[in-house]
Amino acid sequence: MTPDQPIVRLPELSVVVPAFNEAEGIGAFLERLVGILQGCCNEFEIWVVDDGSRDATWERLRDQHIPQLRGLRFTRNFGKEAAILAGLRQAQGRAVIVMDADGQHPPDLVPQMLSVWRDGCAQIVAAQKIARDGDGWWARLRAHFFNGLMRILTGLDLSGASDFRLLDRRVVDTLLAFPEKVRFFRGMTVWTGFTTVQLGFEVAPRIAGSSQWSTAQLSRLAITAITAYSAKPLGMIFRFGLLGMATAILLLLQALYSWASGIAVSGWTSLTVVVLMFGSATLLSLGVLGAYLAQIFDEIKRRPEFLIQESLTNEKGV
């Protein structure tokens, strides 16, 4: 570096905020977040990634007069995982916090997360949900089913887990070095094995609007998470095939015994049930294989994870 070149001072903290159709509440959220950050961190930046919102989210961002605010706008909706990845690639902080824009991840927890990280107690500080009183019964049921499915098929217990977490710079660099394009942020951070401290929080009501997560979207996330994180379903297909082979052998022995004994073979109902059961299992197995093949197909195409239409950067910065 020559004497004429300015010294670039990197922020201590970067906050990555994926946003989709959050025009109603994004202003109030940023105002609250900035107020908290100014009290606990001298140098910070906020990256809001507009994941192809169909409302005025981007216009609301451009209206904000926050020197530390940066933004990216996708050409279309690429999904939350892509938005998190885009934010991590831009973040320059020695620590990075990922949190939602709807206010359900309370900014009040940020100082405590920073304190744990500054003390050197952990390289990942993961916020865990201890109550979901703000969610309806259907949302809680979907979350319970999703977590149970992940626990069975991947061995990963995500009960109460969220994307609200602080990552040390080393963790961020490790995640960005992963070559895969199909990603599951929560699972990948757990997989790294870095020292983790968990902090509990109560899920707050949304600042405005309603949840953008539909049952179909949550199902797609579950399929992506399972196929990206674990090959256990493939092993289950193999074991189910062995069970089917053992059942077929037993039925064959029973048929041979009946033939040798001169007993009329009966039981068409049970035979129909067996055929239907294993026929359905075969179709399900083909579906599981198809999900993994689709995962491989997405990887080998080597397309970018997202496309950026517009960026928002304040040159004054911090």
Say what the pLDDT of residue 316 is.
43
Task: Check whether 287 has a pLDDT greater than 80.
Answer: no
- Rounded distance between C-alpha atoms, residue 68 and residue 56, angstroms: 21
Say what the pLDDT of residue 149 is.
72
Tokens of 205: 């009501």
* Helix pair 185-192, 169-177: axis angle to 10 deg: 110
Residues 21 and 50: beta-carbon distance below 8 Å = no
129-166 pLDDT, tens digit each = 886 555 566 666 766 777 777 777 666 666 667 889 99
Residues 74 and 52: beta-carbon distance below 8 Å = yes
- Phi/psi of residue 262, each to 5°? 75, 20
166-182 pLDDT, tens digit each = 999 999 999 999 988 87
Tell me the average pLDDT across 280-308. Answer: 78
The whole model's pTM is what? 0.75
Q: Give the residue extent of every domain in the chain.
A: 13-214+305-313, 232-301
**Does the 13-214+305-313 domain belong in CATH 3.90.550.10?**
yes
- Rounded distance between C-alpha atoms, residue 102 and residue 120, angstroms: 30
Say what the pLDDT of residue 224 is.
73
Tokens of 105: 């991840």
Task: Check whether 269 has a pLDDT greater than 60.
Answer: no
Please enumerate in sequence order all residues whose Cβ is within 8 A of that of 310, keeping only pairs 6 or more positions apart, or say none. 58, 72, 73
Tokens of 242: 């062995």
